[in-house]
Chain A
Amino acid sequence: MLVSIYRYNPEKDDAPYMQDYQIELPAGKDLMVLDVLNLLKAKDTTISYRRSCREGVCGSDGMNMSGKNGLACITPVSEAAKNGKLVLRPLPGLPVVRDLVIDMGQFYKQYEKIRPYLINDAPAPAIERLQTPEEREKLDGLYECILCACCSTACPSFWWNPDKFIGPSGLLQAYRFLADSRDTATQDRLGELDDPFSVFRCHGIMNCVSVCPKGLNPTKAIGNIRTMLLQRAT
């Protein structure tokens, strides 16, 4: 199989380039893209990428595989390869540190902006803040986000304004706290989102939904935030 990898080492290279590798894959087995990278790394130790859990939980190996963002560890080669060729690039839209490793600083800054923690100044009860099963259910499809950045780096609105538009991942998290019955800062949170960029730069293209490896739906969460903003203003 032919694997083409984006290579860039800012200490040595003037510009990024694609390097081709030919590799024999074991017959009768559908490896994951991460396995292929590991095999290649054994041969060429200079290839750099992030990975940790190798089972779709940590979110560190988000990359662009033949044009689509996803987690290398849970994407089978059969799905990622096109015409017998596998093209691996870093997630688009963020600065490349080296090869497939990107600088996620901007992504985390947006995450930080939405204050991703429960705000409740009432003294904590002796055991825990209780929720009804219905209240808890509202967090399903939101809390599962692993911050892999596959969605935000697939979003054109985030590419053009990564410093102003929160991006699908951050907005999914923003809604996770807006929807939480235990959080008391709902109005403050909404106030911080009502500008033409933070939420409203989303044009509903749904790239985020199509790539999320956890099957989450940021577009729906963004729609819910919009409804909350509308209810608050009218």
Chain B
Amino acid sequence: MVTQITSFGRSGLYDWMMQRVSAIVLSLYTVFIIGYLLLNPDLTYDQWSTLFEATWMRIFSLMVLLSIGMHSWIGLWSISTDYLKATGVRFFFQSLCGLVMFIYIVWGVQVLWGL
């Protein structure tokens, strides 16, 4: 057992599952948005903003936002533990990733709710 881990859920299984679940959410959203754009070739601003005012769309989008955060954190964390061997550099990289993801999520919430 490898202890002392800075990964997401600290359990390998949990990270692995999260990675898969978030991947599914992300692909569903991608398919949905592409489908929506294809079905509405002459999309107006009103239509687009009504779509994003619907509660289910906001829930869906927030889920996607959190999935992006989780998915990229788990992925980048793995990459950093593979390739960045100097502890200082790795710690800096992981902190930076964490910070960027936090910013994206807060910013995304702001955009979604038009705050």
A-B contact count (CB 8 A): 52
Q: In the complex, what residues of A have CB within 8 A of residue B12's CB?
A: 193-200, 229
Q: Mark B1-15, 1 if CB is under 8 A from A, else 0.
A: 111010100111111
Q: A157-B82, A196-B7 are in contact. Are A229 and B1 (CB under 8 A)?
A: no
Question: A interface, how many residues as a size bin?
Answer: 20 to 34
Chain B nearest CB from A84 CB (Å) reads: 37
Q: Which A115-162 residues have C-beta < 8 A from chain B?
A: 156-157, 160-161
Residue of A with least CB distance to B81: A161
The reply to whether B16 and A191 contact each other, CB–CB distance below 8 Å, is no
A53 at the binding interface (Cβ < 8 Å): no
The reply to whether B15 and A192 contact each other, CB–CB distance below 8 Å, is no
The reply to whether B5 and A196 contact each other, CB–CB distance below 8 Å, is yes
A42 at the binding interface (Cβ < 8 Å): no
Chain A nearest CB from B20 CB (Å) reads: 11
Distance in angstroms between the alpha carbons of A144 and B13 in the assembled complex: 28
Q: In the complex, what residues of B have CB within 8 A of residue A196's CB?
A: 2, 5, 7, 10-12, 15, 78
Q: In the complex, what residues of A have CB within 8 A of residue B5's CB?
A: 195-197
The reply to whether A229 and B13 contact each other, CB–CB distance below 8 Å, is yes
Q: Which B4-49 residues have C-beta < 8 A from chain A?
A: 5, 7, 10-17
B92 at the binding interface (Cβ < 8 Å): no
The reply to whether A200 and B82 contact each other, CB–CB distance below 8 Å, is no
Distance in angstroms between the alpha carbons of A197 and B15 in the assembled complex: 11
Q: Contacts A191-B1, A196-B5, A197-B12 given; 9 further ones with Cβ under 8 A?
A: A193-B1, A193-B12, A194-B11, A194-B13, A195-B11, A196-B15, A198-B12, A230-B17, A233-B13
Interface residues of A (CB under 8 A from B): 156-157, 160-161, 164, 191-201, 226, 229-230, 233
